[in-house]
Amino acid sequence: MDNLNSLKQLWQTADTESLPGAGEMLRMVKSFRNKKLAKKFTIIGMAFLLAVVLGVGVYFAHPKMLTSYLGAGLMIAACGVLLFTNVRSLKRFYKLDDCSNKEFIAFLEQTRLNQIYFYKNTQVVGLTLASAGLLFYVYELVYNNLFTLILTYGLTLIYVAILVFVVRPRIFKREARKLSDTMQRLKTLSKQIDEL
């Protein structure tokens, strides 16, 4: 192309005057970062707080039955799973940017595998621990009244069933669609990089 230099000159004429100034950018950067990470930090904070509340609650309330300790322990373990997964994904979030495009494609593939692993294993373990913990924990509070016992367990089981059979598959379906789009894109990009 003989006109490459003309194209370069034309390229430079793009209007960049309307871009934010350095000071404005710095303000935007700070607020954007906080917004983007707020959700993750909220989940981490809530999981940590719940684990502390459960631990402190059990310590001070001195439950009489083993099921209460077992229930609290299982729920704290579920919080631990939630904490671990989110802190780990936070680390990955920061690692993302400084890699070549080929490394990035490999990273996407790893993310896809991680997400599948999360839905098939980690989430199942977390939900099982939390649900079993809840069922054990409430036993001491309701066991001496048959009506309350049936009502509490009935409602808890319905809640768990909705979570497992309705909410979780819906989220999985939505995430799977996103994954499939990402994979499609990944294949196109890989093809473009290897195509020579």
Binding site for another protein (CB under 8 A): 1-4, 6-8, 10-14, 16, 19-20, 22-23, 25-26, 28-29, 32-33, 36, 94, 96-104, 178, 181-182, 185, 188-189, 192-193, 196
CB closer to another protein, 9 vs 121: 9
CB of 85 to another protein, least distance (A): 21
CB closer to another protein, 146 vs 196: 196
CB closer to another protein, 144 vs 194: 194
CB of 190 to another protein, least distance (A): 10
CB closer to another protein, 93 vs 159: 93
- CA 71 to each of CA 57, 110, 131, 140, 154: distance values in angstroms, whole numbers, following the listed order: 12, 34, 9, 10, 17
CB closer to another protein, 59 vs 97: 97
Indicate left, alpha or beta for 20 from its phi (over 0: left) and psi (-120 to 50: alpha). beta
CB of 112 to another protein, least distance (A): 13
CB of 21 to another protein, least distance (A): 8
Nearest to residue 119, comparing CAs of 70, 184, 167? 167
**How many residues are present in the chain?**
196
166: DSSP letter: I
How many degrees, rounded to 5, is the angle at CA 116 between CA 74 and CA 40? 60
Distance (Å, whole) CA 63 – CA 71: 11
CB of 104 to another protein, least distance (A): 5
61, 127 contact by CB (below 8 A): no
Distance (Å, whole) CA 133 – CA 68: 8
CB of 19 to another protein, least distance (A): 6
- CA 176 to each of CA 13, 104, 159: distance values in angstroms, whole numbers, following the listed order: 42, 20, 24
CB closer to another protein, 145 vs 192: 192
